[in-house]
Amino acid sequence: MRITKLQKEIGVDTIITQAAGLVAADMDGEKVMLNIEKGKYYGIDSIGSRIWELLEVPHRVREVVDVLLKEYEVEEKTCQNDVLAFLSKLYDQGLVDID
């Protein structure tokens, strides 16, 4: 029997932050991260990098979306859906923690 981490649903009121134990570096406007525990490298584009920067301290997903709406030309619903999908992928990889 295999025990896995209980997956939580991420919504706009979820508080999310970077997971501990990651090393991140900037490379030409993008972030490259190393999960030391898993020995895996991850790369994210410029918008993903901006989201990552915001998650240095805990934020509600809604707050992240609000910042991005001020910085990029994007419709609110599209932004919200894209941020939720991106954060879900980060969570699945163990790169962020949620409350």
At 65, which CATH number?
Answer: 1.10.10
Whole-number percent of the chain with pLDDT over 90: 58
Q: Per-residue confidence at 28, pLDDT binned at 50, 70, 90?
A: confident
Q: Per-residue confidence at 1, pLDDT binned at 50, 70, 90?
A: very low
CA–CA dist 36, 64 (Å, integer)? 26
Contact 50, 65 (CB under 8 A): no
The answer to whether residue 82 is domain-embedded is: yes
The answer to whether residue 9 is domain-embedded is: no
pLDDT of residue 22: 85
- Given the structure tokens 């190393």, which residue do they identify? 34
The answer to whether residue 60 is domain-embedded is: yes
Q: Which of 50, 12, 18 is nearest to 31 (CA)?
A: 50
Domain that holds residue 48: 17-98
- The total of other beta-carbon atoms located within 10 Å of residue 56's CB is 10
- Could you read off the pLDDT of 70-94 as tens digits, one per residue? 999 999 999 999 999 999 999 998 8
Q: Of all helices (H) and strands (E), which one includes residue 24?
A: strand 22-27
CA–CA dist 99, 83 (Å, integer)? 17
Q: Per-residue confidence at 7, pLDDT binned at 50, 70, 90?
A: low
The answer to whether residue 50 is domain-embedded is: yes
The answer to whether residue 53 is domain-embedded is: yes
Does the structure show a pLDDT above 90 at 63? yes
Q: Which of 2, 36, 22 is nearest to 97 (CA)?
A: 22
The answer to whether residue 91 is domain-embedded is: yes
The answer to whether residue 1 is domain-embedded is: no
Structural domains in the chain (count): 1
